[in-house]
Amino acid sequence: MKREVRIYNMIIPLWLLWLFPPLFPWVLPIILLGNLAIDTAVLSLALKAMKRTDREQLMEHLWWRIWWRGFAADAAGMAWLFLALILWEMSFGHRPTFWQKWLGFVMGDPFGHPVALLWTLTAVAIAGVCIYRLDRKALRSAGLTGREAHRAALALAIITAPWTFLIPTPM
């Protein structure tokens, strides 16, 4: 019997690692390398679009900063999703709450309820804003102008935001 294994990029929802801990040791390197490839590709293309002649030197200086800051920003989005999990867990064993109905959809299928979709999109937006702010600071410190740092950070924030939060997770 062949098992289907899905590997999502740009940080997967935190509870997926709790649901499938045996997968964690071999999935984590794939996630890390996938994030690295996407982050460096977006940064390189953004610098190329700005016609930076020192692109290679900037990439050598920035690749790891952009990479780890992206993980930190994704963690902020995951914290928002984790809040939904905490609220959902707290609602069991008590009188049913108005949020119990849609909180379950946040963890399983964000498209299953409009509020769950908004909650999950908020997590993606939180991570995107954090990516923008953290990367813009790193880009400015590397010598990019304010406008260049804004454009590159905006590209990184939009493209590398954890859109995979929206992928339904089998529960």
Other residues' Cβ atoms within 10 Å of the Cβ of residue 145: 11
List Cα–Cα distances, 39 to 9, 16, 24, 68, 136, in angstroms: 11, 22, 22, 10, 14
pLDDT in tens, 137-171: 999 999 899 999 999 999 999 999 999 888 887 65
Tokens of 88: 């959902």
Contact 37, 14 (CB under 8 A): no
Q: What is the pTM of this model?
A: 0.79
Which of 123, 89, 108, 91 shows the shortest CA–CA distance to 19? Answer: 108
pLDDT the model gives residue 7: 42
pLDDT in tens, 63-73: 999 999 998 99
Of residues 151 and 32, more confidently modeled: 151
pLDDT at 8 over 90: no
Q: Please report which confidence band the pLDDT of residue 32 belongs to, taking 50, 70 and 90 as the band edges.
A: confident
Q: Give the whole-angstrom CA distance, residue 171 versus residue 78.
A: 17
pLDDT in tens, 81-132: 888 888 877 776 666 666 777 887 887 889 988 999 999 999 999 999 999 9
pLDDT the model gives residue 94: 67
